């Protein structure tokens, strides 16, 4: 849920209130001009020094803000409801969207290029933007939201040829629910690996019980990995893949998307060897490589987007025994 928690004093102390929607006049809820710190959960909020969203604003993204530039001055609050993914704004050199234009899709310091102090109008195609007077998000700024146009920076803002920094507001953390679609599991390869070989020889005229290897314990490993099917897809939030009741793979940005688990498997061998026979017991591990689609539901700002990933495993947990009996030829005495 998107919400803002506002506090009477700095460092989140004193009286507090929570809001989940726009507040045009904080005095109507007995909290005007008294906010000194705040916490934002989800989408950003815009704070204004005057009622009805007027005055020079301040923007607050998700996180804890223990002190404020508008200390004891906030009179109205507005929630940013736009989809903030893939933002885009077009700046124009002259009023009425004329002259040279520049399309911007990310945070940009215009002082490093050829469009510094040149913009006089804009159109926002996607997201919500802050346009600053100086580099490094300094000085006066205005808020530009999706679907809005400003044909002339002069009459209202006196902002002609003054824009030096452009910043897209960031959305709150998304929640990610991942579901492994086991019904669509695909076996890619299978191979057998001999873990152990035990040979028993009975040269007597009587049946013998092979008792020296009643059981043995073997350690086998399974490699788990995950990848996004769209190479350019990035999810900042970590999420978990529940592979089985005891195995969970955590997927987190800039960390390995793989892990290895191990199991101990006990193999019991209890056989009898006929007279004049050789018994070969092979302990065999079947290594199975499989892939399974993963459906990811990404929820941000009450909107759900579905993406597909892939879980892969290379497992050697299937262990079996193979018995081969050979007769021993007894040479007759001459």
- 195 with 310, same domain: the answer is yes
The CATH code of the domain that includes 117 is 2.60.20.10
Of 163, 153, 88, 165, the C-alpha closest to 118 is 163
Instruction: Report the sign of the C-alpha dihedral through residues 6, 9, 13, 16, in that order.
Output: negative
- Over 70: is that where the pLDDT of 332 sits? no
Rounded mean pLDDT, 55-66? 94
On whether residue 333 sits in a domain, the answer given is no
Burial of 48 (0-12, 13-18, 19+ CB in 10 A): buried
- Read off the pLDDT band of 103 (50, 70, 90): very high
pTM: 0.68
- 184 with 73, same domain: the answer is no
- Over 90: is that where the pLDDT of 193 sits? yes
Residue 26's pLDDT is what? 98
Domain-terminating residue out of 119, 146, 168: 168
Residue 333's pLDDT is what? 63
Which residue range forms the structural domain that includes residue 287? Answer: 175-327
Of 28, 10, 29, 33, the C-alpha closest to 18 is 29
Average pLDDT, the chain: 91
- 264 with 191, same domain: the answer is yes
- Read off the pLDDT band of 211 (50, 70, 90): low
On whether residue 106 sits in a domain, the answer given is yes
Radius of gyration of the chain from its Cα atoms, rounded to whole angstroms: 34
pLDDT tens-digit series, residues 263-312: 999 888 777 889 999 989 899 999 999 999 999 998 887 788 899 999 99
Q: What span, in angstroms and rounded, lies between the C-alpha atoms of 100 and 297?
A: 41
Burial of 10 (0-12, 13-18, 19+ CB in 10 A): middle
- 179 with 153, same domain: the answer is no
Burial of 251 (0-12, 13-18, 19+ CB in 10 A): buried
Domain-terminating residue out of 119, 149, 168: 168
Q: What span, in angstroms and rounded, lies between the C-alpha atoms of 251 and 240?
A: 6
- Over 70: is that where the pLDDT of 234 sits? no
- Over 70: is that where the pLDDT of 232 sits? no
pLDDT tens-digit series, residues 119-132: 999 999 999 999 99
Domain-terminating residue out of 140, 168, 196: 168
């Amino acid at each position: 849920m998107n919400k803002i928690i506002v506090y009477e004093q700095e460092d989140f102390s004193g009286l507090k209130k929570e809001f989940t929607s726009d507040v045009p006049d904080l005095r109507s809820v007995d909290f005007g001009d008294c906010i000194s710190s705040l916490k934002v959960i989800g989408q950003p909020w815009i704070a204004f020094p005057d009622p009805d969203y007027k005055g020079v604003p301040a923007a607050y993204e998700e996180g804890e803000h223990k002190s404020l530039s508008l200390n004891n001055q906030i009179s109205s609050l507005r929630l940013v409801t736009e989809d903030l993914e893939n933002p885009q704004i077009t700046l124009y050199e002259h009023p009425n969207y004329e002259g040279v234009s520049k399309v911007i899709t990310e945070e940009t310091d215009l002082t490093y290029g050829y469009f510094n102090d040149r913009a006089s109008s804009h159109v926002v195609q996607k997201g919500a933007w802050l346009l600053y007077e100086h580099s490094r998000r300094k000085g006066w700024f205005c808020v530009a939201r999706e679907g809005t146009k400003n044909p002339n920076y002069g009459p209202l803002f006196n902002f002609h040829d003054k824009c030096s920094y452009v910043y897209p507001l960031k959305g709150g953390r998304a929640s990610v629910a991942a579901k492994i679609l086991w019904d669509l599991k695909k076996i890619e390869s299978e191979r057998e690996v001999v873990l152990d070989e035990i040979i028993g020889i009975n040269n007597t005229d009587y049946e013998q019980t092979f008792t020296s290897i009643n059981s043995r314990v073997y350690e086998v490993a399974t490699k788990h990995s995950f990848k996004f099917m769209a190479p350019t897809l990035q999810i900042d939030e970590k999420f978990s893949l529940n592979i089985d009741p005891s195995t969970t793979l955590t997927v987190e940005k800039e960390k390995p998307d793989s892990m290895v688990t191990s199991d101990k498997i006990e193999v019991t061998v209890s056989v009898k060897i006929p007279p004049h026979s050789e018994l070969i017991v092979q302990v065999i591990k079947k290594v199975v490589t499989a892939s399974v689609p993963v459906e990811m539901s990404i929820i941000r700002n009450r909107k759900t987007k579905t993406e597909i990933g892939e879980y892969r495993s290379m497992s050697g947990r299937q262990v079996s025994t193979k018995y081969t009996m050979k007769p021993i030829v007894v040479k007759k005495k001459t």
